[in-house]
Structure formats: structure tokens, C-alpha cells
Amino acid sequence: MISKKQKIHLEAPKGLMNDPNGLCWYKGELYVFFQWNRFSKDHSFKEWGLFKSSNLLDWDFHGSAIVPDQEYDNNGVYSGNALEIDGKMHIYYTGNTKPNGIRKTYQCLAETDDGELFQKKGIILNTPKDFTEHFRDPFVWKGKDQKYYMVVGAQKVSGKGAIALCKSCDGKKWNYIGILAESDNCEMIECPVVFSLGEQQILLFCSQHRDNDKDEVLWSESLYQLGEWEPQTGDFTVGNLDEKYSRLDWGMDFYAPQTVCMPDGRTILFAWMSQMDGEQTEIFGEGEPNVHCMTLPRELTLRENRICQRPARELYQLLDDHIQIPKEKNHFQQETIAEMVSLSERTWYCKMELLQQEGIFELNINQSEVVFCYDPGEKQLVFQRKSWIRDGLEQKEVTLEKLDDLEIWFDTSSIEIFINGGSVVLSARVIPTQQHTKIRFQKSSKDMIKSMNMYKMKGRKSN
């Protein structure tokens, strides 16, 4: 069995990792907390693990940070965020309990003044009467009016999804204001995030479709809306989560994104690189001590009223040996160009600039571990990966007006593709079928490649 251990992505040394939590720049370091089950590769236990870095390249793993050891969080320390207030890091999270098997949630606070010892301060908000106990994932920010605001993912008593809005003068005592936004199409909203790019305010959220009778998740997706939020009234100009939304990522594995503002003003995003179901997770984790990872950190900008995502600029320091691509024309005269790229490892970077030509552009990585195909006539991009639970390929489709460039970051068991300067991004885990790399281009792609640069990559440093 080929190892799935990643070289450039954050992953826990054991157990199951999921949502990034509490992204916070504090005392010269970026704190990336995450949902973690250190005991097994399933969701039966939830605490916060922690990575720290001063440069997005060298990471220290600090193990358990916040564990479920209180009556109000004894069934799990669920997702939340962190914010520095008066020199202390304030950590907001959902405490999950299940007395007599019945869910009861609380929004909770922990603090630290050294980034090492996290002192719990208890419950700061009970579930308002408008909502069921599917009420979780607080995100706190400081408004322009110097007040603190919190959004919480929620399910209304009607069984439909919503985002609750709360307010505080000091970040400690909170009052529920009302519903910021709501949905008629989904049964739960998770992981809301409010932030700004320049003057534009943005709401990230995950719409979760559920079978309320069985209390089971059917499917979920990560979305965003552009809008204006008025702190005096608590109104968000969109309000309806079923309209005027966009996807953040078009691949198979991307969920629960969270952002942080860096000291230089950049907005950085991490997400959980998974949307696997239980069967996929079990098989993907076979033979490994751990399962799941984070996406690469991404810089966010706004272009033509759409979020663009690019790999954080620090990551380009991981590029190592330049790979020479054969330029002889006879490489483009075969039915396929199997010899064009052949590597002895699985971690690499590739940037292609493309010309606007007729004909289908297609590349095939490692005998259909990943297939990428763009048809300019239909203006359709098809992204496929090899399934590991059944024969054949899984597929996602994107409508794309044109294909100007591709930037591919391929790790041992994942791929992230940034298209047209990051206006479209595809993220997916990949099941390794071979130790090396072969990239095959279809003949019709030969006149489309304007330039192609490829590099081996160094692994991230970690302790």
C-alpha cells in the first residue's frame, strides 16, 4: 500500500482532523486550531488540536489545546474562532453535551495570555428560543463601532437553516440580537464567517441539507455572499442565503473555511480538505495512523465581485528543482504525450499558460487518478478523480468562459488547482495508485500550451 502522508499540508500525526478553528495571529505566530479526534479515525470525540507558525512554512504541532472536560462541553469541543482582545486571546467555541442522549449546546469562552495555557471561562450564550440545539460554530469580530459581534450557525425551530447574530461590549457578556440571514432550501447553516476585503463585506457559510426526522446529514457545500452589514440594525443586505451566493471551491473536498487577517493586511483562508462520507473516510484511512488534512493557506482578493484564491506567497519557497519539459515537436505528434512529464515522486508544482484555441484541452495524471478536461466550445470544465469505493471516476463540472492558466499543487494524496488567477479553484484528495508521477496530455492540447513550468517541492518543516 502506498503511503498517503502529505508533505506540504497540515495533518495531525494520528486520529481524525476536521474543521480549522480559531485562526488567530497572536504574539508573532499564527495559531491554527482544528477539530481533532486523537483516539480514532472517526468523529466519536472532539477536542481542539493546535499548530503554530511564524511564517506559514515551518509548523510546530502542540497537540491538545482545548479538551472536553467540563459539564457544558463533555460531549465535544466543537468549532469556533479566536480573537485578541486587550492582549489576551479569546477563544469562542461550542460546547456539545448529550444528557440522556438529547443534544444540548452552549457557546463558550476560553482565554490565554501566553498562547500555552487556555483557561475556560464557561458559558457565554445559551441557545435562543428561535432555534433548535443545532446551534454552533461561533465566529466573533470587532465592528467599526468598536462593539463585538458574533454569528452562530443555526437551525430554526421550523427545521430550516439560519445564522444568529449576537452583540457584546467587551467580548465576554453577550446578547442575542436576531437572525442575520436564513434559508428555506437547507436545514442547517454551519461555520459562518464575516470578514472584509477592502470595503467589501463578505459572509462565508456552509449550507447543510439534513434529514431532520433521522437527524442525519445528507450533503453540504461551502458558499459565500457579498453584502453590506449594518451594525446599528443588525441587517445584512442579502439576508436570504438562497440567493446571490457563489461557491468557494468546485472540487470534491473543501469544507468549513475560516479566515484570518495577517499583520501585513492579507486575508488568509484555511479549509478542511474533505467532504468524505463515513465509507470514504474509513477506506482512505486504511493503513494510516491519521486521516484528513487542511487545504494549503490561501490569500484572498476580490476581482469583479468574486473572491479569488491564490496560494499564500510564502509557499513558493517550497519550490525546489526545476523540471525540464521536453520541447521537441515530436513529443506533440503522438496520440498522447506520455513521456512529456515523468517524475520519481508524487509532490510537485506546475504552472501552465494557455492560448485560446479550438479543441479540447485534457491532462491525465497517474493513469486517471485525476483527469482535467476543458471544452472551449461548450465552455465546460470537467474534473474527475478515481473513486476508491467503487469502480470508475467521480466527477465535478464547472461552467468556464475561458481557460487562461492553471496552477497545480500536487501533494502525495491531494490536488489543488487554481484556474485563471484563482477565480476558480478545485480541491480534492486523491488515492495514490503509484509511487511516481506521469502526466499525459491529449494530442488536441498541443497547440494550447503557451508555457509550462514545473518544479519538485520540498516538504514543509514541522516539529
Domain boundaries, the chain: 15-300, 314-462
Write the CA distances from 257 to 92, 355, 407, 448, integer angstroms. 16, 33, 21, 34
More confident site: 140 or 338: 140
In the block, cell 482582545 appears at 85
CB atoms within 10 A of CB 187: 21
In the predicted structure, residue 1 carries a pLDDT above the cut 70: yes
Residue 324 pLDDT class (50, 70, 90 cuts): confident
The three-state secondary structure class of 437 is strand
Supply the pLDDT for residue 319: 96
| pTM of the entire predicted model | 0.95
* Mean pLDDT, range 32-56, rounded to an integer: 98
- Residue 213: active-site member: no
Average pLDDT of the segment spanning 412-423: 98
C-alpha dist (Å) from residue 315 to 56, 118, 266: 7, 30, 14
Please state, rounded to an integer, the average pLDDT across all residues of the chain.
93
Q: What pLDDT score was predicted for residue 342?
A: 77
* Residue-wise pLDDT tens digits, 184-230: 999 999 999 999 999 999 999 999 999 999 999 999 999 999 988 77
DSSP class of residue 87 equals: T
SS3 call for 275: coil
Radius of gyration of the chain (CA): 22
* Identity of residue 446: K
Is residue 80 within 8 Å of residue 96, measured between CB atoms? no
Q: Indicate if the pLDDT at residue 429 is higher than 50.
A: yes
C-alpha cell at 124: 457565554
DSSP string for 178-221: EEEEE-SS-SEEEEEEEEEETTEEEEEEEEEEEETTTTEEEEEE
For the chain, percent of residues with pLDDT exceeding 70:
94
* Contacts of 296 by beta carbon, 8 Å cutoff, 6+ apart: 8, 9, 311, 312, 315, 409, 416
- Residue 264: other Cβ atoms inside 10 A: 6
**CA separation for the pair 75, 98 (Å, rounded):** 6
pLDDT at 233 > cutoff 70: no
Distance CA 463, CA 288 (A): 19
Query: For residue 313, what are the CA distances in angstroms to 296, 297, 300?
Result: 11, 9, 11
Within its chain, how far is the Cα of 364 from the centroid?
25
Q: Are 135 and 164 in contact (CB under 8 A)?
A: yes
Give 3-state DSSP helix, strand, coil % of the chain, rounded to 5: 5, 55, 40
Residues in Cβ contact with 372 at an 8 Å cutoff, skipping those fewer than 6 apart: 362, 363, 364, 365, 381, 382, 383, 384, 406, 417
Is 325 or 104 the better-scoring residue by pLDDT? 104
The per-residue pLDDT for 461 is 74
The span from the CA of 110 to the CA of 67, in Å, is: 11
Q: How confident is the model at residue 358 (pLDDT cuts 50, 70, 90)?
A: confident
Give the confidence band of 356 by pLDDT, cuts at 50, 70, 90: confident
Confidence of residue 234 (pLDDT cuts 50, 70, 90): low
Instruction: Please list the residues that pair with 202 across neighbouring strands.
Output: 195, 226
Unique residue bearing C-alpha cell 488547482? 417
For residue 428, CA distances in Å to 19, 146, 255, 309, 319 come to: 16, 40, 11, 16, 21
Phi, psi of 167, rounded to the nearest 5 degrees: -140, 150
- Asked if pLDDT for residue 336 goes beyond 50, the answer is no
Q: Residue 335 above 80 pLDDT?
A: no
CATH 2.115.10.20 holds for 15-300? yes
Q: Which fold has domain 314-462?
A: Jelly Rolls (2.60.120)
